[in-house]
Structure 1
Amino acid sequence: MPKLIEIQDLSFTYHTENKEEITALDHIGFTLNQGEHVAIIGENGAGKSTFLQIMRGEIYPSPKNGGKIYWYENGKASDSPLSAREICAIISPKEQDYYARQDWKVNCLEIVLAACSNDYILYREPDTEEILQAVEIAKQLGAEYLLYTPINKLSQGQLRIMLIARALMKKSPVILLDEPLNGLDGETQKLFWNTLEKLAASKLAHKPTIVLTTHLFPLPPYIKRCYEMKQGRLTAIDNDNPSELMKIAEQYQPIPLRHIEKNQDQAMEIILENASIYLEHAEIVKHVNWHIKPKEQWTLIGHNGSGKSTLLNGILGFLPIAHGGTITRNWYQNIQSPPVPLTILDEIKKKIRFVSDSLQIHYTFNDTVFNIIFAGFDGNIGVYREKTSEEEQKIQELIYQLNLGHLTNRPFRSLSTGQARKVLLARAIIGDPALLLLDEPFSGLDPRNKQEIKEFLEYKIAETSLQSILVSHLESDYLSCSTHFGTLFKGEFSLIE
């Protein structure tokens, strides 16, 4: 089979702010042949995303003894990253970060069509055939209804779907998929898998070869070769050998949850009455009536784009409740004390904290892990004062509980998805909030990191009476301590009895 990418003895290292050298990829040899679809499995922080970034030409091997990488166009080898970007399309957290940070007033159809000229947005008039192709791709993904939606109104899951459509539109010989299912509800995941299977089985002249990073099993049936990435090293797995694949899969199974009894401490009450929230004159959350009583633990269920994240931002005070509706936030020092109404944003931020995949996208501050957690005491981004010895001790305890000790002095932007999510959770927890808003907090995490964070949250809820509102569309994400469930459908809230 014709070669597409050839990697020889590849290594990649980077340095922390303390000049510590970190090896992300360690002497990797790899060849991607046309039509041989590949899966790379591994835990968060193993080096999977870094590997795909190098294959895409976004970062480069270490200049000293870093090995070689070649991309093949029409049988001719090139070591130029420009060739990489010509033959490879990528769907990754980094690409999604880029679009999520823009404030472009363009719709999804334009973003998909821009892939034809390898641009981020559309600069030319598309022809009819291109428009029909874009519509057909969106239809295969069950997302044609999104094509005329402005991208700044998309949920994280909806944006991922449009980036998938964009990658298919580009007709690149290689599609690199970095944990592509993260943030997608179950129905959309099935649509996406079905589309990829049809694509892999098709006889199109421009059919791409797929490289997929994941930590989920079972693997799609079209995968021809499988590798495990562990501590920066790539090892081939015989995916035709069920016993070997089962042995690998067992390493990524979740750890059983422990049941922990709750105690009594501070509490929070949220009362929403006829609450609506608008974004750019569109009503996203519609006339919600919801009473969250002290000590209740809530799970809010809903598909991508149903308004879940918007509602949480309203509870946090980042988005206003429209005229005619109200929100009341009452904090109780303990269950017997009188309520203290929270009306000023700075007061709200001390008692209500937020963790989400979108927060991770927009968190551009690149301080060390230790300082980012420290900033959580004041709810700040950045450090503006000296820490006390008591605060330092609390940070060290939290770092130990979340298994972050080896990352203490690492810059935030050098972390994997799972590592960064743990850091932002620690930042939210460190100030002893009364209520934690968890917006798809497990998106992008491998099963062990996911279970580790779930178990930590269960422990904190029991230990400190921390309340939570967990937003998800996956049943496997629900906390076992949840006492109440609600659903949001097209912006309308309903209680699940």
Structure 2
Amino acid sequence: MIEFRNCDIKFSESFSLQALNWCVSPGESWAILGANGSGKSALVSALLGHGTVTRGKRRLLIKDTSVISLEEQDRLIEREKQRDDSDITDKIAPSTPVSEMLDEVCVDHQLRDRLIHDLGLVGLLGRGFRNLSTGESRKVLLARSLIAGSSLIIFDEPYEGLDREAAALVHETLSGMAGLVSMILVLNRIDEVPNFVTHILTINEGLIKEQLSFSDRAEVHRVLSQIGSLRKGPRQLPAPEEQADQKMNEDGSLVRLLDGRVAYKDKVVFEQLDWQIFPGEHWQVQGPNGSGKTCLLGLITGDHPQCYVNDLSLFGFRRGTGETIWDIKRHIGFVSTALHWDYRLSVSVMKVIISGFYDSIGLYARASEKQQEIASQWLKLLGLDKRANDSFAALSYGEQRVLLIARAMVKHPALLLLDEPCLGLDEVNRALVLSLIDLVCQAGKTTLVYVSHHEEDKIDAIERVLNLS
């Protein structure tokens, strides 16, 4: 089905896959593992026929290939945005319903009906794709790929963005398809390598390091241990540019929400929610996909329009009483998948860090020497100091996420909001990020609100939990 024989594939002047010798036979299931920037994404591109073969042979005997990834979610969201003609007509165009998203690719209606039931999509069929949560849209994307009749399905982090129940449903669905189609899973989280995988491939710096049968447990453990020790964690955070005074509400809180409610027509996301965040009291927000975790963070940042119809006070301001959005945002650091999708400008890695001082997407002011020095310290901490002048777009997806988290932390904000901050990160960078977050908690200056589905990503310094289920 797939064969690379002594194959070099060039993607840019600075990066090539080298000496590839790899075969994938029909019905096999492979897991591809490696650090961010190791070449996993390039290898997937090579499977799709991209890149220039400069030596050896590449044979791709696949008629139909489906890809499930955060980038594919991004592509579909961009497609929906292009269909929205509201900028021209002043009317909000309805997003494509989930049922139509499935029907437009379906070649197996019996499987479609089964997946709608198995993945819990019945209640989503009439909803617009753009209105789904990250986890809900992920399940829709999975169903689309499986019902399209593809010979090969490539999954880039199939479990990311899913709560425990949804991840179990996806795992069960993939297990049922194993052997019927060829599957390639690009995984960052070591403990999510599923038991139906038949082979493991590890890659580093564009070179395939190991190809192992999954039944060889001793060898697999050795390779996974090597991946987990590729980088060291951080020791301390760079100092902020200046120590800002924390502004608080009359009751001493940073955030106070009374009888909070978010609803869309007859659908209530959450209601009767009372929540206060005091300085130094870190919170983890939990709940299944669609429970309103991202909506709640949007109320705080001001990005959700219903923040003005709620009794919400932040940093001494009650929302809707004449405060500007920057009166709020200057106290907040924020990272989410949506922010990552929006950060599309062709700016340098260094400028991405510096933009955190200005809460901007892109950099539109001249940075001070001190800001440049602090940004350099962050890049060194993250192991990206040699790529300071590279384009943000040239980084791998995981490296981009690490950089955006550093951007949010650079000013040591009063409140740091992290919506699934480890989404799309490999084991090494996940450990790096969790260490950074833990240090922020221990510093005592920044209060953390942290959304995560994974219990193993728990931060020891976080003792308070808000469950929206």
Shorter-chain TM range is: 0.7 to 0.9
Superposed, 1:116-131 pairs within 5 Å as 116=106, 130=109
Q: Indicate how the Cα distance of structure 1 residues 14 and 175 shifts in structure 2: closer, same or farther if over 3 A, else same.
A: closer
1:62 aligns with 2:52: yes
Q: Is the 8 A contact 2:98 2:124 kept in 1?
A: yes
CA distance in 2, matches of 1:259, 1:399: 14
1:9 matched to 2:6: yes
CA positional deviation for 1:219? 3.3
Percent of residue pairs bearing the same amino acid type: 27
For 1:212, the aligned partner's letter is L
Cα–Cα, structure 1 residues 391 and 38, in superposed 2: closer, same or farther, change >3 Å? same
- Contact 1:275–1:321 (CA<8 Å) still a contact in 2? no
**Does residue 1:35 correspond to 2:35, yes or no?**
no
1:420 deviates by 0.7
1:97 and 2:81 correspond: no
**Residue 354 of structure 1 aligns with which residue?**
334
Normalised to the residue count of structure 1, the TM-score between the two structures is 0.81
- TM-score normalised per structure 2: 0.86
In structure 2, what is the equivalent of residue 214 of structure 1?
187
* Structure 1 residue 305, shift from structure 2 partner: 1.1
* Alpha-carbon spacing, 1:375–1:238, altered in 2? closer, same or farther (3 Å): same
User: Secondary structure of 1:22's match?
Assistant: coil
> Paired residue for 2:275?
290
AA aligned to 1:209 is S
Q: Are positions 1:244 and 2:244 aligned together?
A: no
For structure 1, which segment, 91-100 or 246-255, has the greater mean C-alpha deviation from structure 2 after superposition?
246-255
Partner of 2:153: 175
The Cα shift of 1:26 comes to 2.1
- Once residues 363 and 342 of structure 2 are traced to their aligned partners in structure 1, the CA distance between those partners, rounded to angstroms, is 18
1-structure distance, mates of 2:137, 2:447: 30
| Residue 294 of structure 1: how far off its partner (Å) | 1.9
C-alpha deviation, 1:253, in angstroms:
4.7
Indicate which of 22, 47, 72 corresponds to 2:39.
47
Determine if contact 1:56/1:90 at 8 Å carries over to the other structure. no
Counterpart-to-counterpart distance in 1, 2:102 and 2:96: 11
- Matched residue of 1:39: which SS? strand
Q: What letter matches 2:463 in structure 1?
A: T
| Residue 355 (structure 1) shift | 0.6
> 1:257, CA displacement in angstroms?
9.0
Range with greater deviation from structure 2 (96-105 or 171-180): 96-105
Q: Which residue identity lines up with residue 69 of structure 1 in the other structure?
A: R
- In 1, Cα distance between equivalents of 2:261 and 2:235: 37
CA 29–253 in structure 1, closer or farther in 2 if over 3 Å, else same = closer
* Deviation by residue 1:162-202 (Cα, 9 ceiling, x = unmatched): 1100010011111111111111111111111111111125x
Correspondences of 1:262-277 after superposition (within 5 Å): 266-267=245-246, 269-277=254-262
Q: How does 1:180-191 map to 2 (within 5 A)?
A: 180-191=158-169
**What is the CA-CA distance between 1:356 and the residue it aligns to?**
1.5
Equivalent in the alignment of 1:481: 461
Residue in 1 that maps onto 2:17: 25
Summarize the alignment of residues 76-155 of structure 1 with structure 2, pairs less than 5 Å apart: 86-101=63-78, 102-103=80-81, 105-116=95-106, 130=109, 132-155=110-133
> 1:399-423: CA deviations, max 9, x gaps?
1222221331221122222211111
Amino acid paired to 1:163: L
Give the match for residue 381 of structure 2. 401
Q: Give unmatched runs, 5+ long, in structure 1.
A: 16-20, 73-83, 118-128, 202-206, 333-340, 490-497
Corresponding letter in the other structure for 1:294: P
State whether residues 37 and 399 of structure 2, in contact with CA within 8 Å, keep that contact through their aligned partners in structure 1.
yes
Pair 1:310 & 2:282 matched: no
Identify which range, 178-187 or 458-467, moves more after superposition: 458-467
- Supply the distance in 1 between the matched residues of 2:235 and 2:435 (Cα, whole angstroms): 9
1:353 offset after TM fit, Å? 1.8
Partner SS, residue 147 of structure 2: helix
The alignment's C-alpha RMSD in Å is: 2.7
Matched, 1:330 2:315: yes
